[in-house]
Copies of this chain bind each other. A is one copy, B any other.
Amino acid sequence: MIVVLKPNVGTEREEQLIGWFKSLGLGVHVSEGQFQTVLGLIGDTSKVDSDLVASLDIVDSVKRVTETFKCANRKFHPEDTIVEVGNVKVGGGNFCMIAGPCSVESEEQIVGIAKAVKAAGANMLRGGAFKPRTSPYDFQGLKAEGIELLKIARQETGLPIVTEIMNASDLPLFEDVDVLQVGARNTQNFDLLKELGHTGKPILLKRGIAGTLKELLMSAEYIMSSGNENVILCERGIRSYSDYMRNTLDLSAVPMLHELTHLPVVVDPSHATGMARMVPPMALAATACGCDGLLIEVHNDPPHALCDGAQSIRPEEFAKLAGKVMAVREASK
Contact = CB atoms under 8 A, between A and B. Distances in A.
B52 A310 contact: yes
Interface in A261-277: 272-277
Interface residues of A, number: 111
Interface stretch (A115-123, A173-181, A250-258): A250-258
Nearest to A237: B252
A153 B303 CA distance: 56
A290 interface: yes
Of the candidates A20, A51, A332, the one having the most CB atoms from chain B within 10 angstroms of its own CB is A332
A33 interface: yes
B310 A54 contact: yes
Contact of A225 (B60, B137, B191): B137
A85 interface: no
Given A2-B2, A189-B185, A275-B55, A288 B49 contact: no
Interface stretch (A87-95, A144-152, A155-163, A204-212): A204-212
A327 interface: yes
Contacts of A6: 75
Contacts of A208: 209
CB-based closest 4 A-B pairs:
A210-B210, A55-B310, A327-B331, A288-B288
Given A63-B63, A212-B241, A281-B290, 16 more contacts: A31-B42, A33-B40, A38-B40, A40-B40, A46-B137, A49-B310, A61-B63, A133-B190, A134-B188, A209-B210, A244-B256, A244-B260, A248-B248, A255-B282, A281-B332, A328-B331
